Structure 1
Amino acid sequence: MLMEIRGTRLYVDRRGAAGSPPLLFVHGGPGSGSYDFLSFQGDLLSERFDLVAVDQRGVQHSDPLDGPISDDIVIADFEALRTTLGIDRWSLIGHSYGGHLALRYAVAHPGVVDKVVFENPAWDKALASKTLVLSALPLLRELEADDGVEELLAYDGPATSEMWDERIDVMRRLGDRRMEIYHGPDSRDLVLPADELPDELHNRSGQFYVGITRTPEFLESLLPYLDRLTQPALLIKGEVDPVTSPEEIEYFQSHVPNGSYRTFKAVGHFVHGERPAEYAELVTDFLLE
């Protein structure tokens, strides 16, 4: 359903038994929307949780973006949605860029967030984008499309818009084979249902992506935010996921005293879609323990 939230209409999918522990899914992308996650996990997680999934402002089934966008705006939307729904406290699942937003939200509003699940998050864009290009390098070489890639990888400074754009542009050289690096070896035929959504909805998401990736908040390394995370947290990593860097994992393990870490062998970026039953069981056990 579409809900009026802070001057726009957000698409909200709420499912599960009344009185179950509330759980907010924060999608990544930026601009991916909640459709894929709900296709794989909506029915599974709603068996035990009051599951709330929202397409962020301007994304997919929400109204088109008609103004500025930033992390702070999206997080304020989440808070307004929580109060509108009458939820006192909830836990969070953040996938990919959604892990970036979930960390910001949990640190900014510790009194309303019980626990946090991070699935293949991107907390530091310099590290995450380098990991992404490194994961693509064998395929780029196979396609003879690796010109200049070594120079891009040599950069070791903080994230900048130019660095981000150059590294993402490299990924576009993969063409139709781009998704190969995101899927585990046993899930090469995994279909993401959102691919079949109308072009109009994808265009909305594209506008969100352009707007959010130009902001300083997007480029800021959030590793120091992990030092301020007070809630119990679970980091889920697909073994062959091309996003979360080893440095980010190490920082989480050494700086989050209430943190747990779980790797899924031979799984890529979409653990929730490649191993749906195991994923739902792990998340449920962690959130209800």
Structure 2
Amino acid sequence: MTVITEDGVRLWAARSGVPGSTDPLVLCHGGPGLWDMFEDVAAMFEDRTTVIRWDQRGCGRSERCDGPWTTERFVADLDAVRRHFGLDRTALLGHSWGAQLALSYTLAHPERVSTLVYVSGNGIGPVSDWHAAYKANLASRLDGQEPPEGEREQVVLQWSADFADRERALERARRMADPWFEINYACNSALTTESRRAWGTPELRAACRDLDVPVLIVDGAEDIRPRSAVDSLAEALPRVRRTVLPGTGHVPWAESPDAFREAVTGALTAGP
């Protein structure tokens, strides 16, 4: 299915699950510059609601374009997805960078979001608060493994560090890379730079303190991105619950599927 943004960019999207359900679930993938890898997540909730997946602009199955690569533009694209499917209000689930995008959308359009599920994000503090520890944890988990040849295999090796279960880490990372699309490095660089500049401001903390939308934060206890970074968000939000899954890394639905589904289902059922 194709969604056309107001500036004419074609976005790939897919809808599954229960047709016509109240407050359907829209998924926001990570990156920036990657693509939707939420097939397993969609399958977890298709028996109770409509689930919508999409590839962000210039990424995955969406049209290649020259941007613009800004959070404001991506928030507008997400709203184009909402309008395309005729939704007055949605539940949002975002993972990693997608959690940041979903939060940004919710802050911009709180009346259009019934529930925000914030998965494996990095909070609202400065990127400098956690990035050095992340790089150190990444190096430690990879334990000096030599990068293989080929971009896909190099990325698979890096993604394998996101899993706490080291015996199955490469297998799970390879599944994330199937299908494989070209990474949009221009998108990644621009949005990463924007985050370093814009995140951690008093204005952002104040906006989160005023957010009257229920939020579920889901963390893997063994994510190599320090979970303490998320404290900044949890402390600011007035209506927040937090679930920390033990023995779990950055992709909690893969390593703790039952606990992840239970936590998210609880949030969706509770509603506003």
Q: TM-score, normalised by structure 2?
A: 0.84
The aligned length equals 253
Number of the residue aligned with 2:131: 129
Taking a change above 3 Å as real, the CA distance of residues 139 and 279 of structure 1, as seen in their structure-2 partners, is closer
- Residue 51 of structure 1 corresponds to 51
Tell me the equivalent position of 1:115.
115
CA contact (8 A) 1:91 1:116 kept: yes
After TM superposition, list the pairs within 5 Å mapping 1:35-114 onto structure 2. 36-38=37-39, 40-114=40-114
> Given that residues 65 and 208 in structure 1 are in contact (C-alpha distance below 8 angstroms), is that contact kept between their aligned partners in structure 2?
no
Measure how far apart 1:234 and its partner are: 0.6
Partners in 2 of 1:219 and 1:242 — Cα distance?
23
The 3 A distance-change label for structure 1 pair 192 and 14 is farther
Which residue of structure 2 aligns with residue 16 of structure 1?
Answer: 17
Give the Cα–Cα distance (whole angstroms) in 2 for the partners of residues 91 and 259 of structure 1.
15
Matched residue SS, 2:118 = strand
Secondary structure in 1 matching 2:131: helix
1:209 corresponding residue in structure 2: 188
Between the aligned residues of both structures, percent identity stands at 25
Mark the runs of 5 or more structure 2 residues left unpaired by the alignment: 147-153
Contact 1:33/1:55, CA 8 A, preserved across alignment? yes
Of the three residues 195, 218, 225, the one matched with 1:243 is 225
Q: Note if contact 1:131-1:245 (Cα within 8 Å) is conserved in structure 2.
A: no
Q: Cα–Cα, structure 1 residues 143 and 52, in superposed 2: closer, same or farther, change >3 Å? A: same
Matched, 1:227 2:205: no
Q: Which gives a bigger RCO, structure 1 or 2 (Cα 8 Å, sep 6+)?
A: 1
The Cα offsets for residues 101-156 of structure 1, whole Å up to 9 and x where unpaired, read as 1111111101111110111102342234223123125357x5399xxxxxxxxxxx
**Aligned position for 2:149:** none
Residue 57 of structure 1 deviates from its aligned partner by: 0.6
Contact 1:233 1:260 in 2 (8 A): yes
Q: What 5-or-longer segments of structure 1 have no aligned partner?
A: 146-173
- 1:259 corresponds in structure 2 to 240
CA-atom RMSD in angstroms:
2.4
CA distance in 2, matches of 1:96, 1:144: 24
> In the alignment, is residue 181 of structure 1 matched against residue 161 of structure 2?
yes
TM-score, normalization by structure 1: 0.79
Give the letter for the 1:46 counterpart: E
Per-residue CA distance 1:200-241 (angstroms, 9 max, x = gap) = x324x3332133234x35642156143232211111010111
In structure 1, the partner of 2:177 is: 195
Partners of 1:107 and 1:230 within 8 A in 2:
no
